[in-house]
Protein backbone atom coordinates (compact mmCIF):
# COMPACT_ATOMS: atom_id res chain seq x y z
CA UNK A 1 0.00 0.00 0.00
CA UNK A 2 1.36 3.43 -0.93
CA UNK A 3 2.03 5.74 1.95
CA UNK A 4 -0.61 8.27 1.07
CA UNK A 5 -3.22 5.56 0.75
CA UNK A 6 -3.34 5.97 4.51
CA UNK A 7 -3.71 9.70 3.97
CA UNK A 8 -6.67 9.10 1.69
CA UNK A 9 -8.22 6.98 4.42
CA UNK A 10 -7.89 9.95 6.77
CA UNK A 11 -10.28 11.76 4.45
CA UNK A 12 -12.49 8.84 3.45
CA UNK A 13 -13.06 7.43 6.92
CA UNK A 14 -14.65 10.51 8.54
CA UNK A 15 -16.65 11.22 5.38
CA UNK A 16 -18.01 7.66 5.38
CA UNK A 17 -18.63 7.90 9.12
CA UNK A 18 -20.62 11.11 8.63
CA UNK A 19 -22.87 9.41 6.08
CA UNK A 20 -23.33 6.31 8.24
CA UNK A 21 -24.15 8.26 11.40
CA UNK A 22 -26.69 10.28 9.45
CA UNK A 23 -28.39 7.16 8.04
CA UNK A 24 -28.18 4.99 11.17
CA UNK A 25 -28.74 7.82 13.62
CA UNK A 26 -29.91 5.62 16.48
CA UNK A 27 -26.46 4.01 16.59
CA UNK A 28 -24.58 7.20 15.77
CA UNK A 29 -22.46 7.32 18.92
CA UNK A 30 -21.07 3.81 18.41
CA UNK A 31 -20.41 4.49 14.75
CA UNK A 32 -18.78 7.80 15.64
CA UNK A 33 -16.46 6.28 18.24
CA UNK A 34 -15.57 3.43 15.86
CA UNK A 35 -14.75 5.95 13.14
CA UNK A 36 -12.53 7.92 15.53
CA UNK A 37 -10.62 4.78 16.46
CA UNK A 38 -10.21 3.82 12.80
CA UNK A 39 -8.87 7.30 11.96
CA UNK A 40 -6.31 7.07 14.75
CA UNK A 41 -5.26 3.63 13.55
CA UNK A 42 -4.75 4.94 10.00
CA UNK A 43 -2.76 7.87 11.36
CA UNK A 44 -0.50 5.53 13.36
CA UNK A 45 0.25 3.53 10.19
CA UNK A 46 0.94 6.74 8.28
CA UNK A 47 3.30 7.97 11.01
CA UNK A 48 5.32 4.74 10.93
CA UNK A 49 5.67 4.89 7.16
CA UNK A 50 6.55 8.58 7.18
CA UNK A 51 9.36 8.09 9.69
CA UNK A 52 10.60 5.14 7.62
CA UNK A 53 10.90 7.30 4.49
CA UNK A 54 11.96 10.52 6.31
CA UNK A 55 10.76 12.74 3.47
CA UNK A 56 7.78 14.47 1.92
CA UNK A 57 5.13 12.48 0.11
CA UNK A 58 3.07 13.35 -2.95
CA UNK A 59 0.09 11.40 -4.22
CA UNK A 60 -1.90 12.36 -7.34
CA UNK A 61 -5.59 11.53 -6.92
CA UNK A 62 -6.69 9.13 -9.65
CA UNK A 63 -3.18 9.11 -11.06
CA UNK A 64 -3.47 12.68 -12.35
CA UNK A 65 -1.02 15.10 -10.86
CA UNK A 66 -0.78 18.87 -11.08
CA UNK A 67 -1.71 20.89 -13.03
CA UNK A 68 -4.47 18.67 -14.44
CA UNK A 69 -5.45 16.81 -11.27
CA UNK A 70 -5.52 17.14 -7.49
CA UNK A 71 -2.41 16.19 -5.60
CA UNK A 72 -2.10 15.48 -1.90
CA UNK A 73 1.02 16.47 -0.02
CA UNK A 74 2.42 15.32 3.31
CA UNK A 75 5.35 16.60 5.36
CA UNK A 76 6.17 17.09 9.03
CA UNK A 77 3.97 20.17 9.35
CA UNK A 78 0.87 18.55 7.91
CA UNK A 79 1.30 15.24 9.79
CA UNK A 80 1.70 17.17 13.06
CA UNK A 81 -1.61 18.94 12.45
CA UNK A 82 -3.25 15.64 11.52
CA UNK A 83 -1.97 14.12 14.77
CA UNK A 84 -3.34 17.05 16.76
CA UNK A 85 -6.71 16.56 15.11
CA UNK A 86 -6.80 12.85 15.79
CA UNK A 87 -5.85 13.11 19.47
CA UNK A 88 -8.38 15.81 20.28
CA UNK A 89 -10.98 14.18 18.04
CA UNK A 90 -10.73 10.84 19.82
CA UNK A 91 -11.09 12.45 23.26
CA UNK A 92 -14.09 14.55 22.19
CA UNK A 93 -15.69 11.53 20.53
CA UNK A 94 -15.37 9.55 23.76
CA UNK A 95 -16.75 12.47 25.77
CA UNK A 96 -19.71 13.41 23.59
CA UNK A 97 -22.17 10.47 24.06
CA UNK A 98 -22.39 10.85 27.83
CA UNK A 99 -22.53 14.64 27.55
CA UNK A 100 -25.50 14.73 25.19
CA UNK A 101 -27.22 11.94 27.10
CA UNK A 102 -26.95 13.95 30.32
CA UNK A 103 -28.17 17.09 28.60
CA UNK A 104 -31.20 15.22 27.29
CA UNK A 105 -32.06 13.96 30.77
CA UNK A 106 -31.56 17.42 32.24
CA UNK A 107 -33.72 19.02 29.58
CA UNK A 108 -36.49 16.50 30.09
CA UNK A 109 -36.40 17.02 33.84
CA UNK A 110 -36.66 20.78 33.43
CA UNK A 111 -39.61 20.62 31.04
CA UNK A 112 -42.61 22.06 32.88
CA UNK A 113 -45.25 22.02 30.17
CA UNK A 114 -47.69 19.27 29.26
CA UNK A 115 -48.06 20.57 25.72
CA UNK A 116 -44.97 18.61 24.69
CA UNK A 117 -45.71 15.03 23.54
CA UNK A 118 -44.96 12.36 26.11
CA UNK A 119 -43.04 9.25 25.03
CA UNK A 120 -44.52 6.36 27.01
CA UNK A 121 -41.86 3.88 26.02
CA UNK A 122 -38.87 6.05 27.06
CA UNK A 123 -40.61 7.97 29.80
CA UNK A 124 -39.41 11.24 28.30
CA UNK A 125 -41.52 14.27 27.63
CA UNK A 126 -39.24 15.99 25.13
CA UNK A 127 -38.23 13.95 22.09
CA UNK A 128 -36.25 16.50 20.07
CA UNK A 129 -33.64 17.09 22.76
CA UNK A 130 -32.44 13.49 22.46
CA UNK A 131 -31.68 14.19 18.79
CA UNK A 132 -28.98 16.76 19.54
CA UNK A 133 -26.38 14.06 20.06
CA UNK A 134 -27.48 12.41 16.84
CA UNK A 135 -27.07 15.70 14.98
CA UNK A 136 -23.62 16.14 16.50
CA UNK A 137 -22.01 13.09 14.92
CA UNK A 138 -22.52 13.70 11.20
CA UNK A 139 -21.61 17.37 11.62
CA UNK A 140 -18.53 16.59 13.68
CA UNK A 141 -17.32 13.92 11.25
CA UNK A 142 -17.86 16.28 8.31
CA UNK A 143 -15.77 18.82 10.19
CA UNK A 144 -13.09 16.18 10.74
CA UNK A 145 -13.19 15.37 7.00
CA UNK A 146 -12.59 19.02 6.15
CA UNK A 147 -9.75 19.36 8.65
CA UNK A 148 -7.89 16.28 7.41
CA UNK A 149 -8.43 17.27 3.78
CA UNK A 150 -7.10 20.77 4.44
CA UNK A 151 -3.94 19.47 6.10
CA UNK A 152 -3.27 17.20 3.09
CA UNK A 153 -4.27 19.50 0.24
CA UNK A 154 -1.68 21.03 -2.08
CA UNK A 155 -3.63 23.45 -4.28
CA UNK A 156 -5.23 26.71 -3.28
CA UNK A 157 -8.70 26.03 -4.70
CA UNK A 158 -9.01 22.64 -3.05
CA UNK A 159 -8.00 24.38 0.17
CA UNK A 160 -10.90 26.78 -0.33
CA UNK A 161 -13.32 23.83 -0.61
CA UNK A 162 -12.01 22.36 2.64
CA UNK A 163 -12.30 25.76 4.34
CA UNK A 164 -15.95 25.95 3.37
CA UNK A 165 -16.64 22.44 4.65
CA UNK A 166 -14.95 23.28 7.96
CA UNK A 167 -16.74 26.62 8.31
CA UNK A 168 -20.26 25.39 7.56
CA UNK A 169 -19.88 22.36 9.82
CA UNK A 170 -18.51 24.52 12.65
CA UNK A 171 -21.39 26.99 12.33
CA UNK A 172 -23.99 24.21 12.49
CA UNK A 173 -22.28 22.70 15.52
CA UNK A 174 -22.23 26.09 17.25
CA UNK A 175 -26.01 26.35 16.87
CA UNK A 176 -26.57 22.79 18.12
CA UNK A 177 -27.80 23.72 21.60
CA UNK A 178 -30.66 25.75 20.12
CA UNK A 179 -30.44 28.54 22.70
CA UNK A 180 -30.95 32.11 21.61
CA UNK A 181 -27.36 32.96 22.51
CA UNK A 182 -26.03 30.03 20.48
CA UNK A 183 -28.18 30.83 17.45
CA UNK A 184 -27.13 34.49 17.49
CA UNK A 185 -23.48 33.54 17.83
CA UNK A 186 -23.79 30.96 15.07
CA UNK A 187 -25.36 33.50 12.70
CA UNK A 188 -22.54 35.97 13.36
CA UNK A 189 -20.04 33.14 12.94
CA UNK A 190 -21.63 32.19 9.61
CA UNK A 191 -21.37 35.72 8.22
CA UNK A 192 -17.75 36.02 9.35
CA UNK A 193 -16.92 32.66 7.79
CA UNK A 194 -18.49 33.65 4.49
CA UNK A 195 -16.65 36.97 4.48
CA UNK A 196 -13.34 35.27 5.22
CA UNK A 197 -13.95 32.65 2.54
CA UNK A 198 -14.86 35.33 0.01
CA UNK A 199 -11.61 37.21 0.68
CA UNK A 200 -9.65 33.98 0.30
CA UNK A 201 -11.47 33.01 -2.91
CA UNK A 202 -10.82 36.42 -4.46
CA UNK A 203 -7.14 35.89 -3.76
CA UNK A 204 -7.32 32.47 -5.45
CA UNK A 205 -8.97 34.02 -8.51
CA UNK A 206 -6.28 36.69 -8.79
CA UNK A 207 -3.46 34.16 -8.55
CA UNK A 208 -5.06 31.82 -11.07
CA UNK A 209 -5.65 34.67 -13.52
CA UNK A 210 -2.06 35.90 -13.19
CA UNK A 211 -0.18 32.59 -13.13
CA UNK A 212 -2.60 30.02 -14.65
CA UNK A 213 -2.35 27.41 -11.88
CA UNK A 214 -3.73 26.66 -8.43
CA UNK A 215 -1.06 24.13 -7.46
CA UNK A 216 1.13 25.41 -4.62
CA UNK A 217 4.38 24.06 -6.06
CA UNK A 218 3.77 25.48 -9.52
CA UNK A 219 2.63 28.80 -8.07
CA UNK A 220 5.84 29.06 -6.05
CA UNK A 221 7.82 28.61 -9.29
CA UNK A 222 5.79 31.08 -11.35
CA UNK A 223 4.91 33.89 -8.97
CA UNK A 224 6.52 37.27 -9.47
CA UNK A 225 6.18 40.66 -7.81
CA UNK A 226 3.17 41.90 -9.75
CA UNK A 227 0.09 43.73 -8.38
CA UNK A 228 -1.96 40.52 -8.40
CA UNK A 229 0.53 38.94 -5.97
CA UNK A 230 0.29 41.75 -3.44
CA UNK A 231 -3.50 41.99 -3.74
CA UNK A 232 -3.92 38.25 -3.23
CA UNK A 233 -1.60 38.36 -0.21
CA UNK A 234 -3.71 41.07 1.40
CA UNK A 235 -7.01 39.35 0.62
CA UNK A 236 -5.99 35.86 1.68
CA UNK A 237 -4.21 37.01 4.83
CA UNK A 238 -7.20 39.12 5.87
CA UNK A 239 -9.69 36.32 5.25
CA UNK A 240 -7.64 33.74 7.15
CA UNK A 241 -6.89 36.11 10.05
CA UNK A 242 -10.64 36.73 10.30
CA UNK A 243 -11.34 33.00 10.43
CA UNK A 244 -8.59 32.46 12.99
CA UNK A 245 -9.92 35.19 15.27
CA UNK A 246 -6.77 37.30 15.36
CA UNK A 247 -7.19 40.58 17.25
CA UNK A 248 -8.92 42.89 16.32
CA UNK A 249 -10.83 40.49 14.04
CA UNK A 250 -11.73 38.27 17.00
CA UNK A 251 -15.12 39.78 17.89
CA UNK A 252 -17.08 36.68 16.83
CA UNK A 253 -14.93 34.14 18.69
CA UNK A 254 -15.74 34.49 22.44
CA UNK A 255 -19.52 34.35 21.96
CA UNK A 256 -19.32 31.37 19.57
CA UNK A 257 -16.97 29.35 21.79
CA UNK A 258 -18.72 30.37 25.00
CA UNK A 259 -22.28 29.52 23.92
CA UNK A 260 -21.68 26.21 22.12
CA UNK A 261 -22.00 22.80 23.72
CA UNK A 262 -18.86 21.77 25.62
CA UNK A 263 -17.56 19.21 23.08
CA UNK A 264 -18.21 21.70 20.28
CA UNK A 265 -16.36 24.48 22.15
CA UNK A 266 -13.41 22.11 22.55
CA UNK A 267 -13.37 21.43 18.80
CA UNK A 268 -13.69 25.08 17.84
CA UNK A 269 -10.89 26.24 20.12
CA UNK A 270 -8.54 23.29 19.73
CA UNK A 271 -8.89 22.57 16.01
CA UNK A 272 -11.00 24.91 13.88
CA UNK A 273 -9.05 28.13 14.48
CA UNK A 274 -5.79 26.20 13.97
CA UNK A 275 -6.89 25.16 10.47
CA UNK A 276 -6.97 28.72 9.14
CA UNK A 277 -3.71 29.53 10.94
CA UNK A 278 -2.08 26.47 9.35
CA UNK A 279 -3.26 27.57 5.92
CA UNK A 280 -1.95 31.09 6.41
CA UNK A 281 1.39 29.68 7.54
CA UNK A 282 1.55 27.25 4.60
CA UNK A 283 0.79 30.00 2.09
CA UNK A 284 3.36 32.28 3.70
CA UNK A 285 6.14 29.69 3.67
CA UNK A 286 5.37 28.46 0.16
CA UNK A 287 4.28 31.57 -1.74
CA UNK A 288 4.44 34.95 -0.05
CA UNK A 289 7.46 35.05 2.26
CA UNK A 290 9.72 36.99 -0.11
CA UNK A 291 7.18 39.51 -1.41
CA UNK A 292 6.33 41.83 1.50
CA UNK A 293 8.75 42.14 4.45
CA UNK A 294 6.33 44.42 6.36
CA UNK A 295 3.62 41.76 6.76
CA UNK A 296 5.41 39.74 9.52
CA UNK A 297 5.76 42.82 11.72
CA UNK A 298 2.08 43.69 11.25
CA UNK A 299 0.99 40.15 12.12
CA UNK A 300 3.34 40.17 15.11
CA UNK A 301 1.89 43.43 16.44
CA UNK A 302 -1.64 42.08 16.06
CA UNK A 303 -0.54 38.92 17.86
CA UNK A 304 1.03 40.91 20.71
CA UNK A 305 -2.15 42.96 21.09
CA UNK A 306 -4.14 39.71 21.16
CA UNK A 307 -1.96 38.31 23.97
CA UNK A 308 -2.45 41.35 26.20
CA UNK A 309 -6.05 42.22 25.38
CA UNK A 310 -7.33 38.63 25.40
CA UNK A 311 -5.63 37.92 28.73
CA UNK A 312 -7.08 41.05 30.35
CA UNK A 313 -10.55 40.22 29.08
CA UNK A 314 -10.23 36.68 30.42
CA UNK A 315 -9.45 38.08 33.87
CA UNK A 316 -12.66 40.16 33.77
CA UNK A 317 -15.04 37.30 32.95
CA UNK A 318 -17.58 35.92 35.41
CA UNK A 319 -18.42 32.85 33.33
CA UNK A 320 -15.96 29.99 33.05
CA UNK A 321 -16.51 29.23 29.35
CA UNK A 322 -16.13 32.87 28.39
CA UNK A 323 -12.89 33.06 30.38
CA UNK A 324 -11.56 30.07 28.41
CA UNK A 325 -12.78 31.61 25.14
CA UNK A 326 -10.98 34.90 25.74
CA UNK A 327 -7.92 32.92 26.73
CA UNK A 328 -8.06 31.38 23.27
CA UNK A 329 -7.89 34.87 21.75
CA UNK A 330 -4.76 35.51 23.81
CA UNK A 331 -3.08 32.18 23.05
CA UNK A 332 -3.62 32.60 19.30
CA UNK A 333 -1.59 35.77 19.53
CA UNK A 334 1.58 33.81 20.34
CA UNK A 335 1.31 31.97 17.02
CA UNK A 336 1.47 35.24 15.09
CA UNK A 337 4.38 36.62 17.13
CA UNK A 338 6.41 33.89 15.43
CA UNK A 339 6.11 35.63 12.04
CA UNK A 340 8.55 38.50 12.76
CA UNK A 341 10.79 36.29 14.93
CA UNK A 342 11.16 33.60 12.26
CA UNK A 343 12.71 36.07 9.82
CA UNK A 344 16.09 35.34 11.40
CA UNK A 345 15.51 32.22 13.47
CA UNK A 346 13.75 29.11 12.14
CA UNK A 347 13.21 27.86 15.69
CA UNK A 348 10.39 30.38 16.08
CA UNK A 349 8.27 28.32 13.69
CA UNK A 350 8.89 25.21 15.78
CA UNK A 351 7.91 27.14 18.88
CA UNK A 352 4.69 28.42 17.32
CA UNK A 353 3.66 24.98 16.05
CA UNK A 354 4.53 23.36 19.37
CA UNK A 355 2.40 25.97 21.10
CA UNK A 356 -0.45 25.23 18.69
CA UNK A 357 -0.23 21.51 19.46
CA UNK A 358 -0.04 21.92 23.24
CA UNK A 359 -2.77 24.59 23.16
CA UNK A 360 -5.07 22.19 21.30
CA UNK A 361 -4.73 19.53 23.99
CA UNK A 362 -4.89 21.97 26.90
CA UNK A 363 -7.78 24.05 25.62
CA UNK A 364 -9.71 20.91 24.65
CA UNK A 365 -9.23 19.67 28.23
CA UNK A 366 -10.37 23.02 29.65
CA UNK A 367 -13.60 23.16 27.67
CA UNK A 368 -14.42 19.53 28.45
CA UNK A 369 -13.75 20.16 32.14
CA UNK A 370 -15.93 23.28 31.96
CA UNK A 371 -18.71 21.17 30.45
CA UNK A 372 -18.42 18.77 33.38
CA UNK A 373 -18.61 21.63 35.87
CA UNK A 374 -21.58 23.18 34.09
CA UNK A 375 -23.51 19.91 34.10
CA UNK A 376 -22.58 19.27 37.73
CA UNK A 377 -23.54 22.69 39.08
CA UNK A 378 -26.13 23.76 36.50
CA UNK A 379 -24.13 26.90 35.67
CA UNK A 380 -20.59 28.09 34.96
CA UNK A 381 -20.45 31.17 37.20
CA UNK A 382 -16.87 31.34 38.47
CA UNK A 383 -17.75 32.85 41.85
CA UNK A 384 -20.19 30.02 42.59
CA UNK A 385 -17.95 26.99 42.03
CA UNK A 386 -17.58 26.24 45.73
CA UNK A 387 -18.10 22.49 45.68
CA UNK A 388 -16.20 21.61 42.53
CA UNK A 389 -12.91 20.69 44.24
CA UNK A 390 -14.69 18.25 46.57
CA UNK A 391 -17.16 16.78 44.09
CA UNK A 392 -15.26 16.90 40.77
CA UNK A 393 -11.58 16.50 41.67
CA UNK A 394 -10.70 14.81 38.36
CA UNK A 395 -12.26 17.60 36.28
CA UNK A 396 -10.63 20.30 38.40
CA UNK A 397 -7.29 18.51 38.10
CA UNK A 398 -7.74 18.42 34.32
CA UNK A 399 -8.41 22.16 34.28
CA UNK A 400 -5.40 22.89 36.50
CA UNK A 401 -2.98 20.69 34.52
CA UNK A 402 -4.17 22.22 31.27
CA UNK A 403 -3.62 25.61 32.88
CA UNK A 404 0.02 24.70 33.49
CA UNK A 405 0.49 24.39 29.73
CA UNK A 406 -1.49 27.55 28.97
CA UNK A 407 0.65 29.55 31.41
CA UNK A 408 3.80 28.00 29.95
CA UNK A 409 5.21 26.41 33.09
CA UNK A 410 7.58 23.43 32.96
CA UNK A 411 7.29 20.57 32.27
CA UNK A 412 4.45 21.27 29.82
CA UNK A 413 4.29 21.54 26.06
CA UNK A 414 3.37 25.18 26.44
CA UNK A 415 6.71 25.75 28.19
CA UNK A 416 8.62 24.20 25.27
CA UNK A 417 6.77 26.34 22.73
CA UNK A 418 7.27 29.59 24.66
CA UNK A 419 10.88 28.73 25.38
CA UNK A 420 11.59 28.35 21.66
CA UNK A 421 9.87 31.68 20.95
CA UNK A 422 11.82 33.38 23.75
CA UNK A 423 15.06 31.88 22.47
CA UNK A 424 14.35 33.27 19.00
CA UNK A 425 13.49 36.70 20.42
CA UNK A 426 16.46 36.99 22.78
CA UNK A 427 19.01 35.67 20.27
CA UNK A 428 17.99 38.46 17.88
CA UNK A 429 17.76 41.15 20.54
CA UNK A 430 13.99 41.56 20.14
CA UNK A 431 13.28 42.25 23.81
CA UNK A 432 9.83 43.69 23.13
CA UNK A 433 8.51 40.38 21.84
CA UNK A 434 10.13 38.56 24.77
CA UNK A 435 8.43 40.85 27.28
CA UNK A 436 5.04 40.29 25.64
CA UNK A 437 5.50 36.51 25.88
CA UNK A 438 6.43 36.70 29.58
CA UNK A 439 3.67 39.16 30.52
CA UNK A 440 1.13 37.04 28.71
CA UNK A 441 2.13 34.06 30.82
CA UNK A 442 1.65 36.04 34.04
CA UNK A 443 -1.79 37.24 32.97
CA UNK A 444 -2.78 33.69 31.99
CA UNK A 445 -1.72 32.54 35.46
CA UNK A 446 -4.01 35.12 37.01
CA UNK A 447 -7.00 33.81 35.07
CA UNK A 448 -6.26 30.17 35.88
CA UNK A 449 -5.76 30.78 39.61
CA UNK A 450 -8.91 32.87 39.70
CA UNK A 451 -10.93 29.77 38.76
CA UNK A 452 -9.01 27.38 40.99
CA UNK A 453 -9.31 29.71 43.97
CA UNK A 454 -13.09 29.86 43.77
CA UNK A 455 -13.31 26.10 43.22
CA UNK A 456 -11.65 25.49 46.60
CA UNK A 457 -13.85 27.90 48.54
CA UNK A 458 -16.07 26.44 51.24
CA UNK A 459 -19.79 27.16 51.40
CA UNK A 460 -22.78 26.18 53.45
CA UNK A 461 -25.24 27.06 50.67
CA UNK A 462 -26.91 23.93 49.28
CA UNK A 463 -26.66 23.33 45.52
CA UNK A 464 -28.73 21.11 43.25
CA UNK A 465 -26.01 19.01 41.64
CA UNK A 466 -25.81 15.88 39.50
CA UNK A 467 -23.01 13.36 39.09
CA UNK A 468 -20.81 13.43 36.02
CA UNK A 469 -19.86 10.12 34.33
CA UNK A 470 -16.27 8.98 34.64
CA UNK A 471 -15.84 8.88 30.85
CA UNK A 472 -16.42 12.63 30.65
CA UNK A 473 -14.02 13.43 33.48
CA UNK A 474 -11.23 11.18 32.22
CA UNK A 475 -11.52 12.45 28.66
CA UNK A 476 -10.63 15.92 29.93
CA UNK A 477 -7.86 14.64 32.19
CA UNK A 478 -6.20 12.57 29.46
CA UNK A 479 -6.00 15.60 27.16
CA UNK A 480 -4.53 17.66 30.01
CA UNK A 481 -1.94 14.97 30.76
CA UNK A 482 -1.13 14.90 27.04
CA UNK A 483 -0.32 18.61 27.13
CA UNK A 484 2.17 17.89 29.93
CA UNK A 485 3.71 14.89 28.18
CA UNK A 486 4.49 17.13 25.23
CA UNK A 487 6.92 18.91 27.51
CA UNK A 488 8.48 15.73 28.89
CA UNK A 489 8.90 14.08 25.48
CA UNK A 490 9.54 17.00 23.16
CA UNK A 491 12.17 15.30 21.01
CA UNK A 492 9.77 13.09 19.08
CA UNK A 493 7.19 15.77 18.16
CA UNK A 494 9.96 18.20 17.14
CA UNK A 495 11.55 15.49 15.01
CA UNK A 496 8.16 14.88 13.42
CA UNK A 497 7.79 18.58 12.63
CA UNK A 498 11.20 18.53 10.94
CA UNK A 499 10.30 15.76 8.46
CA UNK A 500 10.64 17.18 4.98
CA UNK A 501 12.20 20.36 6.42
CA UNK A 502 9.07 22.49 5.95
CA UNK A 503 10.79 25.58 7.40
CA UNK A 504 14.51 25.09 6.73
CA UNK A 505 14.29 25.84 3.03
CA UNK A 506 12.91 29.28 3.79
CA UNK A 507 15.44 30.59 6.31
CA UNK A 508 18.94 29.68 7.27
CA UNK A 509 18.47 30.46 10.97
CA UNK A 510 19.18 27.96 13.68
CA UNK A 511 16.85 25.12 14.58
CA UNK A 512 15.65 24.13 18.02
The Cα–Cα gap between 166 and 172 comes to 10
Mean pLDDT lowest among 10-19, 253-262, 387-396: 387-396
Number of helical (H) and strand (E) elements in the chain, helices listed first: 20, 2
What's the rounded Cα separation, in Å, for the pair 281 and 334? 13
Average pLDDT over residues 161-173: 94
Judged against a pLDDT cut of 80, whether residue 190 lies above it is answered with yes
Q: Is 35 exposed, middle or buried (0-12, 13-18, 19+ CB in 10 A)?
A: buried
The answer to whether the CB of 85 falls within 8 A of the CB of 144 is yes
State the pLDDT at residue 107: 53
Q: Does residue 336 have a pLDDT over 70? A: yes
pLDDT tens column, 112-153? 433 433 343 333 333 334 457 778 999 999 999 999 999 998
The model's confidence at residue 58, banded by pLDDT at 50, 70 and 90, is confident
* pLDDT 10s digits, 236-260: 999 999 999 999 999 999 999 998 9
Q: Compute the 3-state secondary structure of the chain and give helix, strand, coil in percent, each to the nearest 5.
A: 75, 5, 20
CB 327 within 8 A of CB 387: no
d(CA 139, CA 441): 35
Neighbours of 54 (CB within 10 A): 11
Of 258, 216, 293, 298, the C-alpha closest to 381 is 258
* Structural contact between residues 257 and 265, judged by C-beta atoms closer than 8 angstroms: yes
Q: Are 439 and 315 in contact (CB under 8 A)?
A: no
Amino acid sequence: MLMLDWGILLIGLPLSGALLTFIFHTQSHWLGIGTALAINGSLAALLMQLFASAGTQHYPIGGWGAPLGIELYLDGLSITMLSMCSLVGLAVSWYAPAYFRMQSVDNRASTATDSVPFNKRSGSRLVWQTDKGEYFWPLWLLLWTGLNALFLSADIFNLYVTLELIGLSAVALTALTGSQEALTSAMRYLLINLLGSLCYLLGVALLYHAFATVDLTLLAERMTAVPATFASLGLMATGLALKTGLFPLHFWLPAAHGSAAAPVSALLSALVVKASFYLLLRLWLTLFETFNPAVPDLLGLMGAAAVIWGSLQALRQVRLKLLIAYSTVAQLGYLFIAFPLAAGHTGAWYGALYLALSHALAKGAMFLAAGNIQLFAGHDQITALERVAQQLPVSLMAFALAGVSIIGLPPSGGFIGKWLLLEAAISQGHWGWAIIILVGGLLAAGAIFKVIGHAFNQTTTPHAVQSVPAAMQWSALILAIGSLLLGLFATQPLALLAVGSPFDSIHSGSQP
